[in-house]
Amino acid sequence: MEYEACRALLESRLKTERYVHSLGVAETAGKLARRFGVDEAKARLAGLLHDNAREFPVASMIEEARRRAIPVTPLDIAMPLLLHAPLGAYRLKELYGIEDAAIAQAVARHTVGGAGMTPLDKIIYFADMIEPGRDYPGVSKLRKLAEEAPLDKILLAAFSESITFVLQKGQLIHPDTVTARNEILLAGTQV
Ligand SMILES: [Fe+2]
Ligand SMILES: [Fe+2]
């Protein structure tokens, strides 16, 4: 399915607010892809569809994941909303006819990151945090970094922001976010 057909199907399945957020992520991901020499069409499509599984009620996500043999971890049971990322990746093929593994991986990793993230994975993770509809205290600093910093420096700031947020809320820190952040630090990026 091409972008326009995906957009129309997504619009019919998501609540308006989530759909508008998805358009913002697609647009932001496209701009970042241009800046970092990543395939812009893939970035726009991954951005558009990253939250496609948000159409499922949170209470049904564990069941929907198990039905598709998607692994469900204890963290997923504690925070079932996390499953919209792997479920969304699965449904790219199931509902949107998209079989591109790079797009599927970027959708699967958009909530908590992961080991060995590709530039496309990083762009989708970050675009989700800074699309024009986002409004939280640290967002303008992250948007400024998006204009001028190297991709890994941007992601380091994004992971730090995300971990700080969950710490302040007293919530679980996902180990995949820690892994992704550590990888960047171990690769020698300066804060
Ligand atoms: Fe999401
Ligand atoms: Fe999102």
Domain residue limits, the chain:
3-186
Mean pLDDT of all residues in 26-55:
98
Closest listed ligand to the CA of 112:
1
Q: Residues whose CB is under 5 A from ligand 2 (ion)?
A: 51, 128
Residue spans of alpha helices (H) in the chain = 3-13, 16-36, 40-49, 61-67, 74-78, 84-96, 101-108, 119-130, 139-148, 151-169, 175-186
Q: What is the pLDDT of residue 176?
A: 97
Q: Which ligand has the nearest atom to the CA of 53?
A: 1
Does pLDDT of 189 surpass 70? no
Interval between CA 159 and ligand 1 midpoint (Å): 15
Q: Which ligand is nearest to the CA of 108?
A: 1
3-186 classified as CATH 1.10.3210.10: yes
pLDDT at position 69 is: 97
Distance 110 CA to ligand 1 centre (A): 6
pLDDT band for position 190 (cuts 50, 70, 90): low
